[in-house]
A and B are shown apart, each in its own frame.
Chain A
Amino acid sequence: MQTTTEIGYNSKVEGDVVITRLEAALNWFRQYSLWPMPMGLACCAIELMATGASRFDIARFGAEVMRFSPRQSDVMIVSGTVTYKMALVVRRLYEQMAEPKWVIAMGACASTGGMYRSYAVLQGVDRILPVDVYVAGCPPRPEALLDALLKLQAKVRREPVLQTLKRPGPAVPVRPPALQMELRP
């Protein structure tokens, strides 16, 4: 008589156990617990506040814990016009955030300088930070920011977390080769 040995998950024996890959599990934990750092610099910050409030409720996606300390946050939401005077502060706050960390450039100003083609405004925050998701709009609707958050979650889900977890230094290069804007320390 042929016997079969069942390997893997047996709900009768093992109860509520889920088997998965470690990497998938870690990414799953990460993606639903992205603590934002609200880098509110202009009118986009009002929409960011609306996104966090009850009507749009960013808590549905696990990102409601707005941290004003860079040490405790995962994703910096740059919402507003980045002036040159503020650029260094934004940069320093980003560098103070612990790995893993991501950046959402919210709105036209943070993405490209927007309508401010002037002597005082940085023409896109990607000149000083590696941006993961850009959000169009002036300012974007809260739904657009939520969509950006979902896009970021999808990106986090695909990250090779085990390859970068124990490696010293940042998981992604702080200065991507394409953005060789050198900031003096």
Chain B
Amino acid sequence: MTARELALQLQERFADILGPPSEFRGEISLELSDPERIAEVCQVARDVGEFDLLLDITGVDNFDRSPRWLIVYHLYSLRHQHMLRLKTCVPEERSELPTVTGVWPAADWHEREVYDMMGIRFRGHPDLRRILMWEGYPYYPLRKDFPLGGLPSEVPGVAFTEVAPLEGGPFVTASGAPDAIHREPRAKPGGPGD
């Protein structure tokens, strides 16, 4: 059974909330319109579609577009060796969706990472704490409106941060360059070796 067949099977079952499978470079994606039913869809994907391995959960910040958050689940079937990508949008006002830790225990740390970096809560998660930053850090660093150099923060007795200097480094990049070669960081013009 191919990934497309499995995706179609899944879509047939949830025809009201799952869009048609789209293919990009041999990988199949399904879009889920109702994030509240993600756990239910994942349960069926695991039991019927035999997607027994959760590879990753990530979040995408669309910032000035609505809905702001896109949560992406990468599933893999060890038996059929197929990948499936599930996407679902979450509006900023809610910033919350059900956990899938009941389906794959591996979701625990992935969901904690999404929560830590983007501030999206997973309802029903057994232990929704920060995983990379420390407890009490006030920001969500992977949001688009968070500056790369960071913001000053202080948690007495736990940790502090300062803004990192983003100017004066040895390399510069050209953001508007036409291709990846020209976007590569290179030594400052006028610096040594120029």
Contacts and interface: CB of A to CB of B under 8 A. Distances in A.
Interface residues of A, number: 16
Given A119-B146, A184-B154, A85 B159 contact: yes
The 9 closest A-B pairs by CB, nearest first: A119-B150, A117-B164, A184-B156, A84-B159, A119-B141, A84-B161, A85-B134, A117-B166, A123-B164
Interface string B127-168: 000001110000101000011111100101111111011100
Nearest to B142: A119
Nearest to B139: A119
22 contacts: A84-B159, A84-B161, A85-B132, A87-B159, A87-B160, A88-B159, A117-B164, A117-B169, A118-B148, A119-B148, A119-B149, A119-B150, A119-B161, A119-B164, A120-B133, A120-B150, A120-B161, A121-B164, A123-B165, A184-B154, A184-B157, A185-B157
A184 B148 CA distance: 25
Interface string A109-146: 00001001111110100010000000000000000000
B118 to A, nearest CB: 14
Contacts of B148: 117-119
A84 B152 CA distance: 11
Contacts of A88: 158-159
B159 A118 contact: no
A127 B163 CA distance: 13
Interface residues of B, number: 23
A88 to B, nearest CB: 6
User: Chain A at the B interface: mostly helix, strand, loop or mixed?
Assistant: loop
B160 A183 contact: yes
Interface of B: 132-134, 139, 141, 146-151, 154, 156-162, 164-166, 169
Contacts of A127: 162
A117 B147 CA distance: 11
B161 A117 contact: no
A123 B162 contact: yes
Nearest to A89: B159
A85 B164 CA distance: 15
Kindly name the residue among A113, A121, A184 whose own CB sees the greatest number of chain B CB atoms within 10 A.
A184
A113 B162 CA distance: 12
Contacts of A123: 162, 164-165
Interface in A72-92: 84-85, 87-88
Contacts of B147: 119
A111 to B, nearest CB: 13
A87 B133 CA distance: 12
A85 B146 CA distance: 19
Given A85-B159, A184-B156, 12 more contacts: A85-B132, A85-B133, A117-B165, A118-B149, A119-B148, A119-B151, A119-B164, A120-B150, A123-B164, A123-B165, A183-B160, A184-B154
Nearest to B162: A123
Contacts of B132: 85, 120
Nearest to B158: A88
Contacts of B141: 119-120
A118 B154 contact: no
Contacts of B169: 117
